[in-house]
């Protein structure tokens, strides 16, 4: 990286000084572009032009006229990662139960315990911390499955937490599982939409969140015809969590019968489903969000991420983080875990026979973490690839850092070699959110104090 590249504060200052210009031009030059666009592929020693909030050109030796030039040799440019499901409000409790053994223990501790004492300010702090952490590790779009909406103020605080970070956020709103609440959900979704999501071209979008069945928290939170009608009336998508096993398989078939499956619906986990349920998912174009470390580490249903089942019916899933109370926060971990688990299963399945294993590739998991994640979040026309017309949500990864050099296979380097320390810059909607390895516009001492105070309150107020 030359002194005029992403390590140079003067370049950042030039970009930010011109941010008010709707057609401000920023040209990244000399990079390896992992576009994740099927028609463009990987481009070596290439340029990428950002005008305003969008990518307008990729190629070689693009016109520099009027552009802030970022010398990016020795780097890889990729689309920002897309997280399709994270319970962001829990971030101040991250890794509080790293060895949780099953879903029941998590439900009793976090949802029936800590969640019940959350104030709006705790929702804000947790959501903001999760979103900033996502940006730091290269996640530019995050679906916040916000299932602790106890009052309208709790929802407002969660949305504000996303807004204040500059992330491309998806606020998926659901009422809480247990404890006292205003029972304003799902009726409050109309107010939320009018207040925060009225624009057609904005960073935040809204979805309805629900559970697959009434097993955990009763029928009010379970997806079905009434919640589907609410979402359709508002013109928003639906994300359904806790899609596990026989009961959820029965629910999927019921949704198929009622015409409730389709591309605007995302099923999260989808672990241990029957072949009949998977056929219905594939036939309808319903999207799926896998949570590789959640399934395997916590032991959800079969404990095996349902990647083979999804691919067998033509579904290319998105990936997600899930619960930071027990799991890693970054997409690199999800990609590597899924890559290793699926390939292990594939070889094991044919061991001792003359059959060839059917293994996914590093390109597959990067596709799941970018373009397919965007599709799953309902934003495939907006983000997920480096192509003209897409919003400028991108990462600059240092390919010549100690853990990455020399650069041989760019996609392999992103998936298997890189981590958050190599993410030198992050742009979201054309705006720098991380530069020279530092997340921008964050008062870390103040944030630490807020996080510590919120954690102390929650732990002292709850009975867990």
Angle (CA) 215-289-267 rounded to 5° is 40
In a domain, 45, yes or no: yes
Whole-number Å distance between alpha carbons of 300 and 226: 28
pLDDT digits (tens, 9 = 90+) for 354-394: 999 999 999 999 999 999 999 999 999 999 999 999 999 99
How deeply is 193 buried, as exposed, middle or buried, from its count of CB atoms within 10 A (0-12, 13-18, 19+)?
middle
Whether 181 and 163 share a structural domain: yes
Give the residue carrying structure tokens 């373009």. Answer: 371
pLDDT digits (tens, 9 = 90+) for 333-347: 999 999 999 999 999
Domain boundary among the residues 376, 401, 426 is at: 376
CATH code where residue 105 lies:
3.20.20.140
How many structural domains is the chain composed of? 2
Which residues touch 14 (CB under 8 Å, ≥6 apart)?
68
Burial 393-420 (b: 16+ CB within 10 A, else e): bbbbbbbebeebeebeebbebbbebbbb
Whole-number Å distance between alpha carbons of 315 and 296: 20
In a domain, 46, yes or no: yes
CATH code where residue 386 lies:
2.30.40.10
Whole-number Å distance between alpha carbons of 238 and 454: 30
| pLDDT band, residue 6 (cuts 50/70/90) | low
| pLDDT band, residue 440 (cuts 50/70/90) | very high
Mean pLDDT (the chain) is 96
Whether 246 and 315 share a structural domain: yes
Residues of the domain holding 289:
81-376
Whether 229 and 352 share a structural domain: yes
Whether 183 and 255 share a structural domain: yes
Domain boundary among the residues 355, 376, 397 is at: 376
Structure tokens at 56: 């307008």
Whether 311 and 256 share a structural domain: yes
Whether 149 and 290 share a structural domain: yes
How many other CB atoms are found less than 10 A from the CB of residue 56?
16
Q: Identify the CA nearest to 372 among candidates 76, 131, 80, 82.
A: 82
Q: Identify the CA nearest to 241 among candidates 294, 313, 297, 201.
A: 294
Query: What is the per-residue pLDDT for 10?
Result: 86
Give the residue carrying structure tokens 């971990």. Answer: 333
Whole-number Å distance between alpha carbons of 397 and 74: 9
DSSP string, 239-268: EEEEEEHHHHHHHHHHHHHTT--STTEEEE
In a domain, 449, yes or no: no
pLDDT digits (tens, 9 = 90+) for 148-198: 999 999 999 999 999 999 999 999 999 999 999 999 999 999 999 999 998
Whether 75 and 129 share a structural domain: no
Give the residue carrying structure tokens 């390895």. Answer: 437
pLDDT digits (tens, 9 = 90+) for 263-310: 999 999 999 999 999 999 999 999 999 999 999 999 999 999 999 999
CA distances from 409 to 32, 41, 73, 371 (A): 10, 13, 16, 20
Structure tokens at 228: 């589907």
Whether 220 and 275 share a structural domain: yes
Whether 296 and 407 share a structural domain: no
Burial 129-149 (b: 16+ CB within 10 A, else e): bbbbbbbbbbbbbbbbbbbbb
| pLDDT band, residue 2 (cuts 50/70/90) | very low
DSSP H or E stretch at residue 230: helix 225-234
Domain boundary among the residues 352, 376, 400 is at: 376
In a domain, 276, yes or no: yes
| pLDDT band, residue 203 (cuts 50/70/90) | very high
Whether 54 and 95 share a structural domain: no
Whole-number Å distance between alpha carbons of 234 and 152: 17
In a domain, 121, yes or no: yes
In a domain, 145, yes or no: yes
How many other CB atoms are found less than 10 A from the CB of residue 425?
28
The structure's pTM equals 0.96
Q: Over 50: is that where the pLDDT of 1 sits?
A: no
In a domain, 258, yes or no: yes
DSSP string, 314-326: T---EE--B-TTT
CA–chain centroid gap for 10, Å, is 31
Whether 189 and 228 share a structural domain: yes
| pLDDT band, residue 4 (cuts 50/70/90) | very low
Q: Over 60: is that where the pLDDT of 250 sits?
A: yes
Whole-number Å distance between alpha carbons of 63 and 86: 40
Q: Identify the CA nearest to 120 among candidates 150, 162, 140, 75.
A: 150
Whether 343 and 398 share a structural domain: no
In a domain, 464, yes or no: no
Whole-number Å distance between alpha carbons of 291 and 235: 26
Give the residue carrying structure tokens 């592929």. Answer: 41
Structure tokens at 407: 């650069």
């Amino acid at each position: 990286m030359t002194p005029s590249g992403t390590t140079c504060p003067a370049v950042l200052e030039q970009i930010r000084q011109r941010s008010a210009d709707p057609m401000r031009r920023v040209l990244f030059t000399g990079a390896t572009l992992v576009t994740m666009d099927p028609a463009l592929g990987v481009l070596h020693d290439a340029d990428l032009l950002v005008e305003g909030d969008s990518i307008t050109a990729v190629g070689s030796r693009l016109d520099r006229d009027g552009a802030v030039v970022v010398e990016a040799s020795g780097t890889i440019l990729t689309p920002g990662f897309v997280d399709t499901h994270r319970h962001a409000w829990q971030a101040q409790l991250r890794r509080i139960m790293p060895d949780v053994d099953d879903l029941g223990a998590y439900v009793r501790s976090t949802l029936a315990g800590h969640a019940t004492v959350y104030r709006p300010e705790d929702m804000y702090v947790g959501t903001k911390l999760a979103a900033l952490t996502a940006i730091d590790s290269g996640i530019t779009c995050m679906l916040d499955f916000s299932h602790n909406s106890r009052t309208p103020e709790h929802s407002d605080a969660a949305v504000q937490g996303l807004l204040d970070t500059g992330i491309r956020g998806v606020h998926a709103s659901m009422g809480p599982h247990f404890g006292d609440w205003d029972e304003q959900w799902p009726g409050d979704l109309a107010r939320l939409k009018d207040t925060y999501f009225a624009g057609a071209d904005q960073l935040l979008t809204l979805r309805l969140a629900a559970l697959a069945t009434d097993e955990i928290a009763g029928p009010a939170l379970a997806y079905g015809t009434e919640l589907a009608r609410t979402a359709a009336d508002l013109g928003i998508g639906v994300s359904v969590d806790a899609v596990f096993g026989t009961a959820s398989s029965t629910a999927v078939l019921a949704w198929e019968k009622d015409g409730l499956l389709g591309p605007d619906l995302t099923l999260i986990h989808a672990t241990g489903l029957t072949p009949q349920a998977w056929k219905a998912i594939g036939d309808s174009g319903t999207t799926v969000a896998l949570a590789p470390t959640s399934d395997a580490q916590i032991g959800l249903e079969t404990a095996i991420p349902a990647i083979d089942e999804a691919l067998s019916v033509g579904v290319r899933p998105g990936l997600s983080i899930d619960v930071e109370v027990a799991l890693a926060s970054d997409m690199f971990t999800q990609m590597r875990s899924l890559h290793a688990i699926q390939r292990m299963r594939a070889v094991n399945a044919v061991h001792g026979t003359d059959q060839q294993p059917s293994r996914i590739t590093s390109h597959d998991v990067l596709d799941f973490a970018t373009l397919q994640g965007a599709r799953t979040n309902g934003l495939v026309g907006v983000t997920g690839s480096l192509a003209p017309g897409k919003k400028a949500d991108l990462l600059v990864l240092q390919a010549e850092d100690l853990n990455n050099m020399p650069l041989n296979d760019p996609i392999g380097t992103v998936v298997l070699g890189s981590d958050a320390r190599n993410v030198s810059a992050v742009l979201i909607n054309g705006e720098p959110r991380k530069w020279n390895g530092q997340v921008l516009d964050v008062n870390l001492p103040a944030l630490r104090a807020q996080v510590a105070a919120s954690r102390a309150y929650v732990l002292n107020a709850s009975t867990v």
